[in-house]
Structure 1
């Protein structure tokens, strides 16, 4: 496993890319309401990235081995879609929950983040799922420091999700990121403490738990990208890009509109 430790110059570029990715989510927030289509949201995000920020939308035409090129600039995953939902012309309706996943490229470096959004008034059980998933991500982030193990991150995420009655998607995970969209290491959202790769200062990776209200099992739709819960239960996801510092961590994907870190009792 070849992991690139980032130089101070790399880290400064990653801070900029991360903040810009987060600012796309700030920008799109007021447009998310009943009646808008995810295709319209994608176009707004695309135009903002390209024309205002001078960034490149990393997902557009992204084609890892064996995949058709991804056709849009952001991923929009609605309700029972776990990840990689392709924006389309179906209007969002009151009560939908939506994840928007943004990755920008600025000066050759990637910034990757996602948030959950509520369309109009959503049910208490949908809000609870999104809240617990957000807590899962932050519990994982709080484990990041030199000398910790990747298994420590996965363990706290899995424990918190399952204690709330939810399940953790195991087929998709966080990942190293930098000049490449996806690098080593893979960051699982389940696991055992004290196992896995040891963290070192200069590593940068995403933590992006996908938590299902029902069972963890999934299926891939015919478009080759959209992943849904097999039992059609709701799914939620949040994502930050995190730097391992000499003393702990720094979240690189923050901006004025980023939701605050949850307070754990």
Structure 2
């Protein structure tokens, strides 16, 4: 059912999405625990595959657009999003964004985190903290009667107050029986603008934040998005349901 342009899920449908979200949360937990110098991004993908297999879930990343070859995105340092796991070795002081998805009985979950490898710089930790705070602010704006623009306004306010940049051109999205559904959920916005939020709306909110320029480039693999100036970026995401009692994170 759709009202105001955003699909509304029944309580039963949200419960099914919660199951997919729990698989994603386990993928996060397992990959976080593996982060250390010497681990490759491919090692993290293998962990993601193990979790999906153990939980009887399938991947909503593998085969996207007919070409994506992995079940996670692994995006170190200057990579903003969509990094393809492989033989890149993580080093002391790196940061990495790990984006994971799962499908259970046709319903999708999608979430990402950024974490440090070993001891990281104060600047890198600040980047991660601000990105997480921006996600939290966006989630807090997901209340019945609010507007879609409230989410981006909240995210933008946190990021810019800390002297960082919202990455240009990349947004969150609706989620349900497909990983990417309408509407787009921008990380910038005006309060009170856009469709109203109602119980049963489920959105993936995902700030992407850069230390330097907000501009990006896509590498020759047609997937990996990097900052144009090579400075570091972070990414955080949850799938969230609007409920009568406020936002519920389905991927925690």
Q: TM-score range by the shorter chain?
A: over 0.9
Moved segments of 4+, more than 3 Å? none
Deviations 1:196-223 (A, max 9, x none): 1211111001111000001110011110
Deviations 1:173-218 (A, max 9, x none): 1101011111111111001111112111110011110000011100
Residue aligning to 2:36:
33
Q: How far 1:247 sits from its partner (Å)?
A: 3.3
Cα separation, 2, equivalents of 1:3 and 1:150: 10
1:116-131 matched pairs, under 5 angstroms = 116-131=114-129
Q: Could you state the TM-score of these two structures normalised by the residue count of structure 2?
A: 0.96
Cα separation, 1, equivalents of 2:50 and 2:243: 34
Q: How far 1:3 sits from its partner (Å)?
A: 3.0
List alignment gaps of at least 5 residues for structure 1: 255-265
Cα separation, 2, equivalents of 1:58 and 1:88: 19
Residue aligning to 1:114:
112
Cα separation, 2, equivalents of 1:154 and 1:30: 31
**Count of aligned pairs between the two proteins:** 249
Cα separation, 2, equivalents of 1:4 and 1:194: 19
The RMSD of aligned alpha carbons is 1.1
Cα separation, 1, equivalents of 2:31 and 2:230: 27
1:35-184 matched pairs, under 5 angstroms = 35-50=38-53, 52-63=54-65, 68-184=66-182
Cα separation, 1, equivalents of 2:156 and 2:91: 31
Retained in 2: the 8 A contact 1:175–1:183?
yes
Retained in 2: the 8 A contact 1:170–1:189?
no
Retained in 2: the 8 A contact 1:58–1:105?
yes
